[in-house]
Structure 1
Amino acid sequence: MIFIVVKFKTKPEWTDRWLDLVTPFTAATRAEEGNLWFDWSRSVDDPTEFVLVEAFRDQAAGAAHVRSAHFETAMDELPQALESTPRIISQTIEAGGWSEMGEMTVG
């Protein structure tokens, strides 16, 4: 699996509109055959920072994502709303999805 976390720092005037701006990109990515998840969160410490956690089945699925028309459109449209270049961690890991946390059991 390709596991990716990206931090996006928005311009203050775009912060409240960020999720609307990324909605088409999010929907198109989630519809990709090799996408496992594509989830947005907002930092509790910095309201202008959004965190994207995404995963793709394998290298081929990740490469197809980066070559997609919706990815290209996002790379053209999203910078207008950003304060700085996004920061990313992208790793290939041995996993097929989320596992239960061993240190905590509920129920």
Structure 2
Amino acid sequence: MGKKKINSLDDLGGFVFSTNDSFEFNKQENQETLAPKQQFLEALFSNKGRGGKTVTVISGFIGSEDDLKSLAKILKTKCGVGGSVKDNEIIIQGNYRDKLMEILKKEGYNVKRVGG
């Protein structure tokens, strides 16, 4: 099984350098997912840095990456649009902020509207 690619210093969890030749870096990936009632998510509309294309970003999810991806799949299916999961955020194509907030509230999440 291959090692997970490290994209930034944040992926190292604060570890920067070691002089120990036999050191093995093991990142903890078993983060426990909080229940929907304990999650405080933020929904924001954005088009900056995306070539003028509009997206809705859901951030603030605390839990495993698999649970985040399954939540993203639910949201994309219910809106009938594409999207992705990147940097612990769910990115949905288009301006679906109100619809996504409604879906998340029905799922039991606490959602806050951010920005205009």
- TM-score category, normalised to shorter length: 0.3 to 0.5
Query: Quick check: which has more Rg, 1 or 2?
Result: 2
Q: Give the number of the structure whose residues are more often strand, by fraction.
A: 1
Higher helix share: 1
Compare relative contact order (CA 8 Å, sep 6+) and give the higher one, 1 or 2.
Answer: 1
TM-score by length of 2: 0.36
